[in-house]
Amino acid sequence: MEFFARIGDKEHRIEVTDLEGSHYRLSVDGVARDVDCVRISESCYSLILDGASYEVDIIGGANPYVVRVKGEVHDVEVLTEREKRLKAVTRKAAAAQEGRQVITAPMPSKVVRLLVAVGEQVNPGNGVIVVEAMKMENELRSTGAGTVREIRVKEGEAVVGGHPLVIIE
Protein backbone atom coordinates (compact mmCIF):
# COMPACT_ATOMS: atom_id res chain seq x y z
CA MET A 1 0.00 0.00 0.00
CA GLU A 2 1.30 3.42 -0.92
CA PHE A 3 1.51 6.41 1.39
CA PHE A 4 2.83 9.93 1.31
CA ALA A 5 4.43 10.84 4.60
CA ARG A 6 5.43 14.33 5.58
CA ILE A 7 7.82 15.21 8.42
CA GLY A 8 8.52 18.93 8.72
CA ASP A 9 8.81 20.15 5.19
CA LYS A 10 10.05 16.90 3.65
CA GLU A 11 7.72 14.51 1.91
CA HIS A 12 8.46 10.83 1.38
CA ARG A 13 6.83 8.10 -0.67
CA ILE A 14 6.40 4.94 1.38
CA GLU A 15 5.16 1.56 0.24
CA VAL A 16 4.06 -0.92 2.88
CA THR A 17 3.75 -4.61 2.18
CA ASP A 18 2.46 -7.06 4.73
CA LEU A 19 4.70 -10.14 4.93
CA GLU A 20 4.04 -13.13 7.15
CA GLY A 21 4.00 -12.97 10.91
CA SER A 22 5.14 -9.61 12.25
CA HIS A 23 7.18 -8.72 9.17
CA TYR A 24 6.65 -5.91 6.75
CA ARG A 25 8.59 -4.73 3.75
CA LEU A 26 8.83 -0.98 3.51
CA SER A 27 10.16 1.04 0.65
CA VAL A 28 10.98 4.62 1.65
CA ASP A 29 11.58 6.75 -1.45
CA GLY A 30 12.51 3.61 -3.32
CA VAL A 31 14.86 2.16 -0.71
CA ALA A 32 13.53 -1.13 0.62
CA ARG A 33 13.92 -2.48 4.12
CA ASP A 34 12.41 -5.27 6.13
CA VAL A 35 10.85 -4.36 9.43
CA ASP A 36 9.64 -6.53 12.29
CA CYS A 37 6.80 -4.65 13.94
CA VAL A 38 4.32 -5.69 16.58
CA ARG A 39 1.61 -3.62 18.05
CA ILE A 40 1.77 -3.52 21.83
CA SER A 41 -1.25 -1.31 22.38
CA GLU A 42 -3.32 1.25 20.54
CA SER A 43 -0.44 3.67 20.60
CA CYS A 44 2.66 1.64 21.24
CA TYR A 45 4.77 -0.40 18.83
CA SER A 46 7.88 -2.50 19.12
CA LEU A 47 10.03 -2.30 15.98
CA ILE A 48 13.15 -4.27 15.18
CA LEU A 49 15.16 -3.12 12.17
CA ASP A 50 18.29 -5.14 11.44
CA GLY A 51 18.55 -6.12 15.07
CA ALA A 52 18.09 -2.57 16.37
CA SER A 53 15.11 -2.42 18.71
CA TYR A 54 12.82 0.58 19.15
CA GLU A 55 9.84 1.40 21.29
CA VAL A 56 7.67 3.83 19.33
CA ASP A 57 4.69 5.65 20.75
CA ILE A 58 2.21 7.08 18.29
CA ILE A 59 -0.23 9.35 19.96
CA GLY A 60 -3.42 10.59 18.51
CA GLY A 61 -5.86 8.80 16.31
CA ALA A 62 -5.69 11.38 13.56
CA ASN A 63 -3.11 12.95 11.30
CA PRO A 64 -0.58 14.29 11.91
CA TYR A 65 0.56 11.54 14.25
CA VAL A 66 2.74 12.51 17.17
CA VAL A 67 5.53 9.94 17.00
CA ARG A 68 7.93 9.51 19.88
CA VAL A 69 11.04 7.36 19.65
CA LYS A 70 14.05 7.44 21.99
CA GLY A 71 13.05 10.78 23.43
CA GLU A 72 12.63 12.42 20.01
CA VAL A 73 9.21 13.69 19.04
CA HIS A 74 8.18 14.00 15.40
CA ASP A 75 4.90 15.11 13.87
CA VAL A 76 4.30 12.81 10.93
CA GLU A 77 1.44 13.21 8.51
CA VAL A 78 0.68 10.02 6.58
CA LEU A 79 -1.79 10.16 3.73
CA THR A 80 -2.95 7.74 1.08
CA GLU A 81 -2.95 8.93 -2.52
CA ARG A 82 -6.66 9.60 -2.28
CA GLU A 83 -6.39 11.53 0.97
CA LYS A 84 -3.57 13.59 -0.53
CA ARG A 85 -5.72 14.58 -3.54
CA LEU A 86 -8.60 15.44 -1.24
CA LYS A 87 -6.38 17.67 0.83
CA ALA A 88 -5.13 19.56 -2.24
CA VAL A 89 -8.70 20.25 -3.32
CA THR A 90 -9.60 21.55 0.15
CA ARG A 91 -6.52 23.72 0.16
CA LYS A 92 -7.46 25.27 -3.17
CA ALA A 93 -10.86 26.17 -1.83
CA ALA A 94 -9.27 27.74 1.19
CA ALA A 95 -6.96 29.75 -1.06
CA ALA A 96 -9.82 32.17 -1.55
CA GLN A 97 -9.18 33.09 2.05
CA GLU A 98 -5.44 33.11 1.40
CA GLY A 99 -3.37 35.53 3.41
CA ARG A 100 -6.18 36.01 5.88
CA GLN A 101 -5.09 35.24 9.36
CA VAL A 102 -7.49 34.95 12.26
CA ILE A 103 -5.69 35.02 15.58
CA THR A 104 -7.89 33.09 17.99
CA ALA A 105 -7.79 32.50 21.71
CA PRO A 106 -6.04 29.13 22.28
CA MET A 107 -8.24 28.44 25.32
CA PRO A 108 -10.62 30.34 27.60
CA SER A 109 -8.59 33.37 28.64
CA LYS A 110 -8.61 37.06 29.40
CA VAL A 111 -7.34 39.74 27.04
CA VAL A 112 -4.55 41.53 28.87
CA ARG A 113 -2.98 43.82 26.29
CA LEU A 114 -3.36 44.72 22.66
CA LEU A 115 0.00 45.18 20.99
CA VAL A 116 -1.25 46.48 17.65
CA ALA A 117 -3.87 48.87 16.29
CA VAL A 118 -6.16 48.61 13.27
CA GLY A 119 -4.26 49.58 10.16
CA GLU A 120 -0.87 48.65 11.56
CA GLN A 121 1.56 46.58 9.50
CA VAL A 122 2.78 43.34 11.05
CA ASN A 123 5.53 40.94 10.11
CA PRO A 124 5.80 37.21 10.81
CA GLY A 125 6.62 36.71 14.47
CA ASN A 126 5.36 40.11 15.62
CA GLY A 127 3.42 39.97 18.88
CA VAL A 128 -0.18 40.96 18.30
CA ILE A 129 -2.09 40.43 21.54
CA VAL A 130 -1.38 39.21 25.07
CA VAL A 131 -3.88 36.88 26.76
CA GLU A 132 -3.80 35.39 30.23
CA ALA A 133 -4.73 31.82 31.14
CA MET A 134 -3.59 29.30 33.73
CA LYS A 135 -1.88 32.07 35.71
CA MET A 136 0.48 32.92 32.87
CA GLU A 137 0.52 35.61 30.24
CA ASN A 138 0.94 34.53 26.65
CA GLU A 139 1.88 36.65 23.70
CA LEU A 140 0.15 35.52 20.49
CA ARG A 141 2.09 36.25 17.35
CA SER A 142 1.32 36.76 13.70
CA THR A 143 2.54 33.93 11.48
CA GLY A 144 2.56 36.04 8.33
CA ALA A 145 2.94 39.57 7.11
CA GLY A 146 -0.06 41.80 6.66
CA THR A 147 -2.17 44.61 7.97
CA VAL A 148 -4.36 44.47 11.06
CA ARG A 149 -7.88 44.65 9.66
CA GLU A 150 -10.05 44.09 12.72
CA ILE A 151 -9.65 43.85 16.46
CA ARG A 152 -12.64 41.96 17.84
CA VAL A 153 -11.96 42.31 21.57
CA LYS A 154 -11.00 44.91 24.13
CA GLU A 155 -8.52 44.79 26.98
CA GLY A 156 -9.94 43.12 30.05
CA GLU A 157 -12.45 41.05 28.11
CA ALA A 158 -12.85 37.34 28.91
CA VAL A 159 -13.09 35.08 25.88
CA VAL A 160 -13.83 31.41 25.19
CA GLY A 161 -11.39 29.09 23.46
CA GLY A 162 -11.36 29.62 19.70
CA HIS A 163 -12.80 33.15 19.95
CA PRO A 164 -11.42 35.27 17.10
CA LEU A 165 -9.33 38.09 18.48
CA VAL A 166 -7.47 39.86 15.69
CA ILE A 167 -7.88 39.58 11.91
CA ILE A 168 -4.83 40.20 9.73
CA GLU A 169 -4.78 40.30 5.95
Partner 1 sequence: MFSKILIANRGEIALRVIRACRELGIRTVAVYSEADRFALHVRKADEAYCVGPAPSAQSYLRVERILEVARQSRAEAIHPGYGFLSENPVFAEVCEEAGIVFIGPSSETMRLSGSKTASRRLAKQVGVPTVPGTDKDLTDEEILRRAPEIGFPILIKAAAGGGGKGMRVVREADELQSAIRGARSEGKSSFGDPAVFVEKYLVRPHHIEIQILADATGHTLYLGERECSIQRRHQKVVEEAPSPFMTPELRLRMGEAAVALARGCGYRNAGTVEFLVDADRNFYFLEINARLQVEHPVTELTTGIDLVKSQIRIAAGEPLSLRQEEVERRGHAIECRIYAEDPANNFAPSPGKLIRYRPPSGPGIRNDSGVYEGYEVSIYYDPMISKLIAWGKDRGEAIGRMRQALGDYLIGGIKTTIPFLFEVMADAAFLKGDVDTTFIEAFLKRKKMEEPRHREVGLVAAAIHAYLADKERRPPAPAAAAGAVSPWTLAARHDALRRR
The minimum distance between CB 157 and partner 1, in angstroms, equals: 16
Is residue 24 a contact residue for partner 1 (CB under 8 A)? yes
Site for partner 1 in 26-85 (CB under 8 A): 26, 28, 33, 35, 37, 39, 43, 45, 47, 49, 54, 56-60, 65-74, 76, 78, 80
Residue span 91-130 as binding mask against partner 1, x where in contact by CB under 8 A, dash where not: ---------------xxxx---------------------
Q: How far apart are CA 116 and CA 60, in angstroms?
A: 36
> What residues contact 168, with CB distance under 8 A and at least 6 apart?
100, 101, 102, 103, 122, 128, 142, 144, 146, 147, 148, 149
Q: Which helix (H) or strand (E) holds 66?
A: strand 65-69
Question: What's the order of all strands across the beta sheet hosting 164-168?
Answer: 101-104, 164-168, 146-151, 121-122
Which residues sit at the interface with partner 1, rule CB under 8 A?
1, 3, 5, 7, 12, 14, 16, 18, 24, 26, 28, 33, 35, 37, 39, 43, 45, 47, 49, 54, 56-60, 65-74, 76, 78, 80, 106-109, 133-136, 138-139
